[in-house]
Amino acid sequence: MKDLLMPAASVALPAELLTQAETLRLARGEALFRQGDPVRYVALVLEGELKAVRYMLDSAECVMLRARAGELFAESSLADSRYRCDGIATGPARVALVPVEAMRAALGGVDSLAYRLCLAVARQARRQCSRLERLRLKRARDRVLHFLVCEGGEAGIVRWSGHLSELAAELGLERETLYRTLATLEAEGRLRRLDDELRLLA
Amino acid sequence: MKDLLMPAASVALPAELLTQAETLRLARGEALFRQGDPVRYVALVLEGELKAVRYMLDSAECVMLRARAGELFAESSLADSRYRCDGIATGPARVALVPVEAMRAALGGVDSLAYRLCLAVARQARRQCSRLERLRLKRARDRVLHFLVCEGGEAGIVRWSGHLSELAAELGLERETLYRTLATLEAEGRLRRLDDELRLLA
DNA sequence: CGTCGCATTGATATCGCTCAAATCCGGTGG
DNA sequence: CCACCGGATTTGAGCGATATCAATGCGACG
């Protein structure tokens, strides 16, 4: 662990955390964790590179983030009980596994400002993942549906006070395309458009 | 400030931070900060909603994140000296401005684990912004160029040990499209393809 | 030698973008 | 009350870029 060359972006973890860490080797393509696994560790990448990916309906993979040697990986999973992505080595890699409990403790516990702030940042990261996944979809229809499902919550209702063109910008579409897509969905009965509200049906 | 209804995602900031906070009202479309402004505050949204946006070459706006009442806004700017986005109110809004210095102090200073961990998470958020911006581009050529510029650093060199199809997944393109795009760029002399390396020229 | 995975190339289909125009709607002033 | 205006929505028509499907080349490996 000593004499390890770390890039500028590296996180110098305190020794008391690293002593609790096991290290692990991964081969190219091997998974450190899978979507749905309980979050037990945050990883410090010692060698190689890892990526966090999600698989879409058509099984295409969507890369959420990458971490190289010296960087933390999956640190935003601190906010979750289960991983939301697969963590895959893009090549031969070596990681140190820091138990999340140790990490939380080092932050001063779940009531500390530090922990709560990290949660807030991690939550934003999670939303960005959602955005990323949405923009990764090629069809306008899929983006709109993804947006409605993600933002509409249980009831499938999204309030939108802004103009249609702002929603179009949010989705990375043109005004006209968005309009036509909404019109189609409404004609299919999958959607209701009220004044400043979109309702996903069935 | 009391009796304020906050959603589940809200961040309960300690009183000593909130007492140092000024509050500010914003009208729809008004900017809390602009890209390039020095980072002085982290905002807690009291009412309304803010969005962080970047403008692309064609002046289309790219939404990076949104924060609603009760949530922190621009907390990942803690890692930066200048804002990388515009912070805009999507409607009438009210925010509490917490000085970043106070925030850093509350985290235990710039050497604390808490602060460094927050930085690590914020750094990942920054990269996700870059990804978001890239996927927001419609043309394959633009995505490739954006990737090369962002990942290639000063020298414009990107090492890529994986297969072409993995890079295609990263960029949200199909293998064939990526191949054709790279071939075109190389024919134009803007790019050199070596074994496991891409060089951006001129 | 045959097969497998990936890179490369070609042909075509499809979708969203672009430009253009009609319509709607709230606000304003006569 | 009505005519008019500006901004936004809605609709139409055509084009261009990318996805898709198909085929070939090509090196690694058993």
pLDDT digits (tens, 9 = 90+) for B73-132: 998 888 899 999 999 999 999 999 999 998 888 888 888 888 888 888 888 889 999 999
Per-residue model confidence (pLDDT) at position B111:
86
pLDDT tops 80 at residue B19: no
CA of A83 to C1' of D27 (A): 39
**Contact at CB, B125 and A125, closer than 8 angstroms:** yes
Per-residue model confidence (pLDDT) at position A2:
43
Per-residue model confidence (pLDDT) at position B17:
72
Per-residue confidence in pLDDT tens, chain A, 202 aa: 444 444 445 666 666 677 778 999 999 999 999 999 999 999 999 999 999 999 999 889 999 999 999 999 998 888 899 999 999 999 999 999 999 998 888 888 888 888 888 888 888 889 999 999 999 999 999 999 999 999 998 899 999 999 999 999 999 999 999 999 999 999 999 999 998 899 999 8
Per-residue model confidence (pLDDT) at position A14:
67
Does the CB of A181 sit below 7 A from strand C?
yes
Per-residue model confidence (pLDDT) at position A46:
94
Phi, psi of A174, deg, nearest 5: -90, 150
Q: How far apart are CA B13 and CA B137, in angstroms?
A: 37
pLDDT, tens digit (0-9, with 9 covering 90-100), for B144-193: 999 999 999 899 999 999 999 999 999 999 999 999 999 999 999 999 99
CA distance A162 to chain B (A): 7
Pairing verdict, β A191-193 and A157-159: unpaired
Share of chain A residues as helix, strand and coil, in percent rounded to the nearest 5? 35, 25, 35
Residue B189, CA distances (Å) to A196, A199, B160, B198 in order: 50, 50, 20, 12
pLDDT, tens digit (0-9, with 9 covering 90-100), for B26-48: 999 999 999 999 999 999 999 99
Chain B contact for A151 (CB, 8 A cutoff): no
Residue found by looking up tokens 């043309």 in the block: B139
3-state secondary structure of B58: coil
Per-residue model confidence (pLDDT) at position B12:
66
Per-residue model confidence (pLDDT) at position B13:
67
Rg (CA), chain A: 20
Chain A contact for B123 (CB, 8 A cutoff): yes
Chain B, 20 to 59: residues with Cβ < 8 Å from chain A are: none
For residue B14, name the pLDDT band (cuts at 50, 70, 90): low
Per-residue model confidence (pLDDT) at position B11:
66
CA angle B17, B22, B24 (to 5 degrees): 135
